[in-house]
Structure 1
Amino acid sequence: MATEQHAELIKTLHDCAAACNHCFDACLQEDDVKMMAQCIRLDRECADICAYLEHAITRNSPFVAELAKACAAICEACAEECSKHEHDHCQKCADACAKCADACRNVA
């Protein structure tokens, strides 16, 4: 079953989506929300693709490799943006996204 084969990736995707959702919410609380706009945007994109790929894996989608390739690219972009900000939530998100991008590239 694909779910068992990709158990570690599923956990990584879940953790990344959670980190992105936390970062998204925390960025909205920052004093200069406008400065955080790109971070917020990429947090949403990344959380959504990670959740979608997690669901696709659990339903044994034939498009897992293609979705993983897209997920890796989005996670990488989010990691790059979050790493520009000194906030703890952004740094943790950047780490989770970088790890997820690597895991997705291994599947793609």
Structure 2
Amino acid sequence: MSHPCSQTLKKRTDLLKECSDAYLYAVEVVTKNSVMAEDLCQSCAEVCYNCADECSSLDDDLLGEDLYNMCMKYARLCEEIMAYHSTQQPKQLKETI
């Protein structure tokens, strides 16, 4: 049986990984100029905010606040890349018949 502190650290690490994955996905959709990029970046930011909330609800330990702040930073990065995407010139869509 593992120590409760190590279980909490593992859970927080998993949450941080989820934030990292969400940010990487946000970068990917913006890079590909997806028409859904803004919505997807917002969803990625929400994932990160939810992870931060879950992280803060876990038992206190030495790294808890740092990992919470890292999740929040990923959320802000998702929002920043979303803002970057929305400032780019929209591409003209071809009309199809």
TM-score by length of 2: 0.56
2:22 — aligned with what?
Answer: 49
Partner SS for 1:66: helix
Q: Does 1:96 align with 2:80?
A: no
Q: Which moved more, 1:35-44 or 1:71-80?
A: 35-44
Task: Give the Å deviation of 1:46.
Answer: 1.2
**Is the Cα–Cα contact under 8 Å of residues 42 and 77 in structure 1 kept in the other structure?**
no
For residues 65-99 of structure 1, the C-alpha deviation after alignment (integer angstroms, 9 at most, x for no partner) is 121122112111222233354323x4233223224
Aligned residues: 78
Letter in 1 for 2:25: Y
TM-score by length of 1: 0.52
Q: Which moved more, 1:70-79 or 1:37-46?
A: 37-46
Task: Give the Å deviation of 1:101.
Answer: 2.4
Structure 1, unpaired ranges of 5+: 1-29
Letter in 1 for 2:41: A
Q: Does 1:33 align with 2:6?
A: yes
Distance verdict in 2 for CA 1:102–1:65, change over 3 Å: same
Task: Quote the Cα distance in structure 2 between the aligned partners of 1:92 and 1:35.
Answer: 14
2:62 — aligned with what?
Answer: 87
Task: Quote the Cα distance in structure 2 between the aligned partners of 1:33 and 1:86.
Answer: 10
Structure 2, unpaired ranges of 5+: 84-97
**Is the Cα–Cα contact under 8 Å of residues 76 and 97 in structure 1 kept in the other structure?**
yes
- Bigger Rg, structure 1 or 2: 2
2:92 — aligned with what?
Answer: none
- Structure (1 or 2) with the greater helix fraction: 1
Partner SS for 1:62: coil
1:78 — aligned with what?
Answer: 51
